[in-house]
Amino acid sequence: MKGVAAVLFVVACGGAGAPVEDPARAREAMVREQVEARGVTDARTLAALRKVERHLFVPPALAALAYADHPLPIGEGQTISQPYIVAVMTEAIRLRGGEKVLEIGTGSGYQAAVLA
């Protein structure tokens, strides 16, 4: 919850709202520094995180923070989970391709996009 409060403070102070300068680089850094560094090794999970453009799943005012290591508010009291949590949940179900997944409570749609 402290992370969300910090994000809201940054937004209120005008520190967010800029677009992501280099989304591909930000995604790669997110995967290396937040996900692989914490032990997520599943190749499909890592490939999905590298492909799905997380900044498209957050409010435009928070796009510059999309690849940061914390959840972000997406409206209606909901948050998009931090990238590491999405990775752990994705790796845990051990998808191999061709399965059908019902993802309940997806909020922003990011987790569903990663699973797809």
Q: Is 81 considered catalytic here?
A: yes
Alpha-carbon distance 61 to 87, whole Å?
24
Q: Domain residues for 30?
A: 2-115
CA 107 to mean position of chain CA atoms: 12
Burial class (CB in 10 A: 0-12, 13-18, 19+), 91: middle
For residue 23, pLDDT over 50 is answered with yes
Q: What is the mean pLDDT of residues 20-38?
A: 96
- Catalytic annotation, pick one of 34, 45, 79, 81: 81
pLDDT tens digits, 65-100:
999 999 999 999 999 999 999 999 999 999 998 999
Count structural domains, the chain: 1
pLDDT, averaged across the chain: 89
- Give the domain CATH number at 86: 3.40.50.150
